[in-house]
Amino acid sequence: MHAHRIAILGLWHLGETYSACLAEIGHTVTGIDVDPLLIENLNNSVPPLEEPGLRELLERNREAGRLSYTTDMSVVASHDVVWIAFDTPVDDHDDVDLSIVLSALDRAIPYLQGGVTIAASSQLPAGTSRQIADRIRSARPDLTFHYFYSPENLRLGDAVSGFMGPGRIVIGADTPAALQVAGELFEPLNAKMATMSAASAEMAKHAMNAWLATSISFTNDIADVCEQVGADVEEVIRALKSEPRVGEKAFLFAGLGFSGGTLGRDLRALSHAAEKHGLSIPVIESAYRKNLSRDSIVVTRLRKEWGSLDRKVIALLGVTYKAGTSTLRRSQPLAIEASLRSVGALTRLSDPLAIPEEVAALSPSLFFREPYSAVEGADIALVMTPTRDYRNLDFARLARSMKTPLLFDTCNILVPAEEKIRSSGLRYLRIGV
């Protein structure tokens, strides 16, 4: 193995995972960020965002001398790889803000040494790799450097295992030297490499997330029609997956759509790129618009059941951006909870991982760690995230605890238990039927 000295710029979810995992596979890694408290915590093996197995990696590799964190950008000078690993911010319209990435790059440029490799794994709009290279050349015209783009493919709640056991790694490199360094960096993972130009790697990330997003919006279109014609979307999905041209692994899920900005970011990036060049991409744009409409279906469906929701007590089970994480940024459940409150509902919240203080800063509703406390005396229980714990709920206990035993499964995760739910005394609603 050819071990490298790697400086990681950006230390939130992507950077914390890459820094720990790259050290774990044998490289010497220094993470750099401007936040001194973040650095202090990481140097004590406390990550900013928890992931299964991450603390153990931080502890083990710090003790082995392969991993450290600092606010001092000048240490870049002693590293032969500088890796851009920011979780690229998006605004409320899913548009990317590159300022944090470019600002950190500008601070690092004076310390880059000849022959350095610049790597990037942040989600970047198409054309950003060229912008990064041009920025370095403009500031340091005599500097010899290499560049590759390897788009991240991490899932919240499964990031460490996702990095350590990837199905494949996309490498976008425009020179043989950059491709060689990328191969050396990832060699210990023994993963299949999909190599291409940097521009193609950027587009590959956009295309992958656009495919997933379009699959979700397509399924929700089918679900909406199913509800009107007496069909069951889960049976339709089963039929689709039995077709060899679709397949069992097809990303077909009916529910509230996608949230958090990750998929939306790539749809918007593609739309902006198309608009810039005078192109029309109606499939991509329709998938995005379809998803924006999903927030309203909970209120609409419940009003069909109840008429007015005024003073109805509604418990939301799951409030984070997605299952398996404590992240509340761009949380769809919290957006829907605000809509319910706006029509007079009395809402309660529960989640196994959400941090109560963070929930309190975003919502006035009572928060309960344990779901049975949240549903006590409630008129409606909403399953909002596909949290594994909810598959094993004591449904009879839910029915006894509630004032009106109505369970609305907005992510269709309880379909296998539908008969058990109904026999427990709960009315069971779900998407697409």
In a domain, 249, yes or no: no
The total number of residues shown for the chain amounts to 433
Indicate the burial class of 111 (C-beta count within 10 angstroms; 0-12, 13-18, 19 or more): middle
In the prediction, which pLDDT does 260 show?
64
Looking at the structure, tell me whether residues 31 and 159 fall in a common domain. Answer: yes
In a domain, 220, yes or no: no
CB 147 within 8 A of CB 84: no
State which residues form the domain around 82: 5-196
Q: What is the pTM of this model?
A: 0.89
Taking the chain (433 residues) in consecutive chunks of 10 residues, what is each chunk's mean pLDDT? 95 97 98 97 95 96 98 98 92 84 97 98 94 97 98 90 95 97 97 97 96 97 97 98 96 90 88 94 96 93 92 97 84 95 97 95 96 97 94 96 96 96 96 96
CATH number of the structural domain spanning residue 301 = 3.40.50.720
Number of domains in the chain: 2
In the prediction, which pLDDT does 321 show?
87
Residue 223 identity: A
In the prediction, which pLDDT does 89 show?
82
Element (H, E) at 368: strand 366-368
In a domain, 153, yes or no: yes
In the prediction, which pLDDT does 174 show?
93
CB 78 within 8 A of CB 108: no
Domain end residue (candidates: 196, 221, 250):
196
In the prediction, which pLDDT does 422 show?
96
CB 414 within 8 A of CB 383: yes
